[in-house]
C-alpha cells in the first residue's frame, strides 16, 4: 500500500496568521532563540519562556486552519494509501483542519509536561512557572515543547515511516533545523519521490527531486487534487 509522509513547518500556518520563525518580522526576530527555546533559557528566566508560549497558545487558539491544512486532511481521508503528517509546528491547525494522523515532533502548545515525572496533561491557556503537576504534585510544570538541545518526539516511529515512504513532501519549512531537515535525505535513500512546497527553495531544497513554488494554500491544494486524480498532474518543475 502506498505511503505519503509529509513534513510541515511554520510556513503552512503562515496564511492562517501565525508568524514563522525566520521571516523578518518572525518569532526569532522578536526573541533570541537561546532565551525562549532552550532548557537553559527556561532555567534562566522561566517567566519569559512561559509567557512566550502563553502568547503563542492564545494566538493559536484564535486562528483557523487554512486551505493547505484542509487539503492534507482531505488527502488523508480519500487517498488509497496511508498519509502521515509529521509537523514541526506546535499549533493544532492540522487537527482543526481535520487531520488525524499528526505527529508533533517538536511538542504542542496544548500540552503541559511535568519536568519531574514526565506526566503530560492538557495545558491551561495561561501557564505560570511553578505550576503544580496534577500527578506528582511537584511545582515542575513546563510547556510540552521540544527546545533546542532536546530530543524530538517519536523519532523511531518517524524513521520507520520514512523507510516505507513512497512520497516524502516538505511543506513550509526552511530546512534549518535538524533532525527534521535530514528527513529528505533519509526518504530519498529509501527510494521515495521527494517534493518541496515552499515560497522559495529551502536550505535543503537541492535534495528534493521536485519543487513547487508558491503559497501553501495554492501549491498544497493543487498537489492534493493531483494525487486524488481531480486534476491532471503537471510535469514536475513546470509551475
Write out the catalytic residue numbers: 106
d(CA 87, CA 103): 6
CA 61 to chain CA centroid, nearest Å? 16
- Residues 22 and 174: their CA atoms lie apart, in Å, by 8
Least CB distance to ligand BV8 at residue 152 (A) = 5
Residues 211-227 as b/e (b if ≥16 CB within 10 A, e otherwise) read bbeebbbbbbbbbbbeb
Q: Which residues bind ligand BV8 (CB under 6 A)?
A: 9-11, 14-15, 20-22, 26, 37, 88, 90, 106, 145-152, 172-174, 176-180, 198-200, 202, 215-216
Q: CB nearer to ligand BV8: give 46 or 82.
A: 46
Q: How far is the CB of 6 from ligand BV8 (least distance, A)?
A: 13
CB environment 56-72: b (16+ within 10 A), e (fewer): bbeebeeeebbbbbbbb
Which H or E run includes 75? helix 67-78
Whole-number CA gyration radius for the chain? 18
CB of 153 to ligand BV8, least distance (A): 10
Phi, psi at residue 144, to the nearest 5°? -85, 65
Q: What sign for the dihedral angle of Cα 225, 227, 231, 237?
A: positive
Q: Any residues with CB less than 8 A from the CB of 137 and at least 6 apart, and which?
A: none
Quick one: 2 or 30, whose CB is closer to ligand BV8? Answer: 30
- For the bound state, the minimum distance from the C-beta of residue 180 to ligand BV8, rounded and expressed in Å, comes to 5
Smallest distance from ligand BV8 to CB 44, Å: 16
How is residue 25 annotated by DSSP?
T
Residue of minimal Cβ distance to ligand BV8: 11
User: By C-beta, is 174 or 194 nearer to ligand BV8?
Assistant: 174
For the chain, give the number of residues: 239
Amino acid at each position: 500500500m502506498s505511503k505519503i509522509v509529509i513534513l510541515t513547518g511554520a510556513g503552512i500556518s503562515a496564511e492562517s496568521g501565525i508568524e514563522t520563525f525566520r521571516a523578518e518580522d518572525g518569532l526569532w526576530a522578536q526573541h533570541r532563540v537561546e532565551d525562549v527555546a532552550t532548557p537553559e533559557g527556561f532555567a534562566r528566566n522561566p517567566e519569559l519562556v512561559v509567557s512566550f508560549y502563553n502568547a503563542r497558545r492564545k494566538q493559536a487558539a484564535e486562528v483557523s486552519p487554512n486551505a493547505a491544512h484542509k487539503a492534507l486532511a482531505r488527502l488523508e481521508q480519500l487517498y488509497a494509501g496511508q498519509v502521515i503528517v509529521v509537523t514541526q509546528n506546535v499549533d493544532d491547525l492540522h487537527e482543526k483542519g481535520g487531520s488525524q494522523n499528526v505527529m508533533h515532533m517538536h511538542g504542542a502548545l496544548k500540552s503541559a509536561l511535568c519536568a519531574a515525572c514526565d506526566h503530560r496533561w492538557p495545558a491551561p491557556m495561561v501557564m505560570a512557572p511553578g505550576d503544580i503537576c496534577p500527578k506528582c504534585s511537584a511545582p515542575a510544570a513546563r510547556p510540552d515543547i521540544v527546545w533546542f538541545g532536546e530530543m524530538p518526539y517519536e523519532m523511531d516511529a518517524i524513521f520507520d515511516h520514512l523507510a516505507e515512504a513512497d512520497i516524502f513532501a516538505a511543506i513550509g519549512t526552511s530546512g534549518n533545523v535538524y533532525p527534521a531537515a535530514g528527513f529528505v535525505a533519509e526518504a530519498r535513500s529509501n527510494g521515495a519521490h521527494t517534493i518541496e512546497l515552499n515560497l522559495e527553495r529551502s536550505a535543503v531544497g537541492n535534495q528534493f527531486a521536485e519543487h513547487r513554488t508558491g503559497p501553501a494554500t495554492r501549491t498544497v491544494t493543487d498537489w492534493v487534487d493531483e494525487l486524488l486524480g481531480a486534476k491532471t498532474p503537471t510535469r514536475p518543475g513546470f509551475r
